[in-house]
Amino acid sequence: MNTTSPVTALDFAVPATDPSALADTWGEAAARAVSPAGLPALEAELREQLARLCLPRKEWTRPHPGPDGSAMLDVLVIGAGQYGTGIGAALKLNGITNFLILDKAEEGREGPWVTYARMPTLRSPKFHPGICFGVPAMTFQSWHRAAHGDAAWNRLYKIPNGVWQDYLVWVRRVLDLPVRNRAEAVDLRQAGDHVEVALADGSTLCARRAVVANGRIGSGGPARVPGVAEDLLPDLAAHTSDAIDFGALRGKKIAVIGTGSSAWDNAATALEQGAASVEMVARRKAVPQLNKGRPASGIAWMEGWLALPDADRWRLTWYMDSMGAPPPHETILRTTRMPGFSAHFSCGAMSATREGGQVRLETEHGPSGLYDFLILGTGFRTDLSAEPLFASIFPDVALWSDCYQPPAELAHPGMGRAPYVGRDFELIGKDGADLSRIHLFNNATYLSTGTMASDIPSLDIAPARLVTGLVQKLFAEDFDQLFAELQDWEDEHEMQTTPFYAPDYVNRTGR
């Protein structure tokens, strides 16, 4: 393997190796080998733990009529992936039961884990608690040990994607969360005391609060590369988040733009499915070396980020973006063990166009020529203007560019497009607009809230923080009715069995 100075091109080609070297090193076979015979016992234990904690709390919200006079939802959650599931769990445990979670996918295929996430395992260690909020029997480890046995847990290296999806589905089932699949939200707007959400089937749902928890792909969509012709998609090019028929790429010459984790995962998948060769091109001088997200994922960073002044949140996000996030070393090794792979750095793509049923790729200081297929491993952008769901309200959404002007040396137009959200993840309106009933809980909030709505390490706390804010807001709206009920309450006459019982004093102030 030949390398040059890291300030110029770093090109290397990996010699052919035996693909059998990729035999199950990820632990998925072991992780899923045992039948879930232990789950009934775990679920009984979970019921006992919840009972000891007096969970779920007693239902306490009061009905509110919608535009048609019927009671509307207290909360509507858009997205039933890991965060939508976590939010649903936190709502139910906190006594809010009049809610619904929507997802456009069929059951079991919500989120990326069994769709476009093409790495074999999560990047996070297996010890992260998952959706638990301090309840031991709800942790991923408890579920995995019960479902697959202690031996499988001990052999497990990192969590296979499909196993993580199994856990999320279990949390939904065991808590009996209300989820409506194959229901796509296509528009939302705030109307007085509620949010109206239009669905693709033509129906409309109304809720006092709406939470958009639709993941990275709902933050603005795939990032595009200037010069890459849009007419290449879908037959000659695809983003890593798209459905890709890798079987059709067998024997083909593939180019990949980008050097992030998904670029490497898709390169590996193409080679494993029989692609003749994969050439990766990237404008970076080298693969990022340090995952700064590791030390910045502790509790202080998660809880403290939102409390920082705007200047500190901006420079912190700018720094994290400039450092980049390296692919896991396992991902690099997975790819480089395959024959036919090469990577080229300091040679960003200049153009990609259609030519005679192939892709003509031109790069700076790197390989150029014809390829059979192009994969865009360019990540995701933050740009709510590109999301149809926000089309009706986007002109009123306050962005960071509306609220903060960074020093010239930290200028970053892409960061300026991030929505500026409040302490309860609510959208802030500009020019007097009120969007406070719409809460954003996806990667678009990173600049405002850090990793609270974007990474697995926050799953055991972040949904609860959001729901605490929802509890406070719903309580304030219901206060007059709840206070009246408090004044009328006479269920327990505490003094009735004592010499000091004074029934005429019932429901007085006690003064």
pTM of the model: 0.91
Q: How far apart are CA 499 and CA 408, in angstroms?
A: 77
Please check whether residues 418 and 455 belong to one and the same domain: yes
Range list of β-strands (E), 275-348: 277-281, 341-344
Please check whether residues 39 and 16 belong to one and the same domain: no
Q: Digits of tens for pLDDT over the chain (511 positions)? A: 333 323 333 444 444 443 333 334 444 544 455 555 799 999 999 999 999 999 999 999 999 999 999 999 999 999 999 999 999 999 999 999 999 999 999 999 999 999 989 999 998 889 999 999 999 999 999 999 999 999 999 999 999 999 999 999 999 999 999 999 999 999 999 999 999 999 999 999 999 999 999 988 778 788 888 889 999 999 999 999 999 999 999 999 999 999 999 999 999 999 999 999 999 999 999 999 998 888 888 899 999 999 999 999 999 999 999 998 899 999 999 999 999 999 999 998 899 999 999 999 999 888 899 999 999 998 888 999 999 999 999 999 999 999 999 999 999 999 999 999 999 999 999 999 999 999 999 999 999 999 999 889 999 999 999 999 999 999 999 999 999 999 999 889 999 999 999 988 887 776 6
Is there a domain that residue 101 lies in? yes
Please check whether residues 153 and 16 belong to one and the same domain: no
Please check whether residues 240 and 337 belong to one and the same domain: yes
Taking alpha carbons only, the member of 408, 373, 135 closest to residue 257 is 373
Q: How far apart are CA 343 and CA 165, in angstroms?
A: 32
Please check whether residues 333 and 230 belong to one and the same domain: yes
Number of compact structural domains in the chain? 2
Cα-Cα-Cα-Cα torsion 424, 394, 397, 319, nearest 10 degrees, comes to: 80
Is there a domain that residue 306 lies in? no
Is there a domain that residue 267 lies in? yes
Please check whether residues 246 and 119 belong to one and the same domain: no
Q: What is the CATH number of the domain that holds 405?
A: 3.50.50.60
Taking alpha carbons only, the member of 252, 491, 475 closest to residue 371 is 252
Is there a domain that residue 480 lies in? no
DSSP alpha helices (H): ranges in 381-461? 400-403, 413-416, 446-449
- The domain in which residue 269 lies consists of 11-22+222-287+327-376
Tell me the sheet residues that pair with 99: 75
